[in-house]
Amino acid sequence: MSTKEIKLNEIPQQKLKDLLEFPCAFTFKVVGANRESLVDDVIQIVQKYAQGDYNPRQNISSKGTYNSVSVDIIAENIEQVETLYSELAKIDGVRMVL
């Protein structure tokens, strides 16, 4: 597996699927209201579509209002990535998925 840095803002005319070679490492960052079960909810969804053991990283905002949870997966195909974006965005309190 090769590592390639992709700056989406520099190539807006290309689609994500055209930039990735599968399988590949892919990181999802979920930003939402800071609540106790956010990390568990994120991991539950990720494991539903990409089974494995995950070590999520979280960063709580300075005022404690928001929490960002980052999870690294090995993506098998673009459909898996698109499904995870969609399903993670449905989690209660989530503001964005990057």
59 within some domain: yes
11 within some domain: no
User: What's the domain count of the chain?
Assistant: 1
Per-residue confidence (pLDDT) for residue 6, from 0 to 100: 53
Looking up residue 74, the CATH number of its domain turns out to be: 3.30.70.260
Its domain, for residue 47, covers 21-97
Single out the residue of 41, 4, 36 nearest to residue 20, CA to CA.
4
Interstrand relation of 24-33 and 94-97 (parallel, antiparallel or unpaired): antiparallel
Single out the residue of 25, 38, 88, 87 nearest to residue 64, CA to CA.
38
7 within some domain: no
CA 69 to chain CA centroid, Å, is: 8
13 within some domain: no
2 within some domain: no
Instruction: Tell me the average pLDDT of the chain.
Output: 88
pTM beyond 0.85, yes or no: no
Using an 8 Å Cβ cutoff, are 64 and 34 in contact? yes
- Give per-residue pLDDT as tens, 18-38: 778 999 999 999 999 999 999
